[in-house]
Copies of this chain bind each other. A is one copy, B any other.
Amino acid sequence: MTLREIVARNLRRLRQAKGLSQEELAHRAGLDRNYIGYLERSKNSPTVDTLERIAAELDCDPAAFFSRPE
């Protein structure tokens, strides 16, 4: 599994735990409405700056995006 895929999986998990749709999260983080969907399908490699904005809206530590599945 690539790091991009690990981030994609954690993003989806953390977003759903927060009860937000992809579009809602994108709107809150100031991102294109389709962008969260792209990330969750591993279609794009997000930057550190983007991960910081998403983590702020999910109230999570950015390091949580990198935890490997057990």
Number of interface residues of A (CB under 8 A): 18
Q: A62-B3, A67-B63 are in contact. Are A45 and B45 (CB under 8 A)?
A: no
Residues of B within 8 A of A37 (CB): none
CB distance from A56 to the nearest CB of B (A): 9
Q: Which stretch from A19-27, A28-36, A47-55 is at the chain B interface? A: A47-55
Residues of B within 8 A of A3 (CB): 48-49, 51-52, 55, 62
Residues of B within 8 A of A55 (CB): 3
The 9 closest A-B pairs by CB, nearest first: A3-B52, A63-B66, A45-B49, A45-B47, A45-B48, A63-B63, A62-B66, A4-B48, A47-B47
